[in-house]
Amino acid sequence: MSRYYAVDVEVDLFGYTLLVRRWGRIGRAGEGQQRVDEHTSDEAAAQALEALARAKTRRGYEPA
């Protein structure tokens, strides 16, 4: 089964730094799932993104 996992750092309309995670099955009709975590700064969000990338790489996901 082919899956995807995407992680982005975004800023919302109110200026909050968000770490947005999206995941699901490739080729499935729905958009999958999404989780949004608020962080206090860009640096904190970047550190969380790096930690997630390391964890997902250990589980077999490959960077695109």
Q: Where do the structural domains in the chain lie, given as residue ranges? A: 3-58
Please report the sign of the dihedral spanned by the C-alpha atoms of residue 45, residue 47, residue 53, residue 55. Answer: negative
Percent of the chain with pLDDT over 70: 98
The model's pLDDT over 14-42, given as tens digits with 9 standing for 90+, comes to 999 999 999 999 887 777 899 999 999 99
Q: What is the mean pLDDT of the chain?
A: 90
Token pair of 9, please?
A: 């750092």
CA–CA separation, 22 vs 14, rounded Å?
Answer: 21
Residue 27: the pLDDT is 83
Q: Rounded CA gap, 42 and 19, in Å?
A: 9
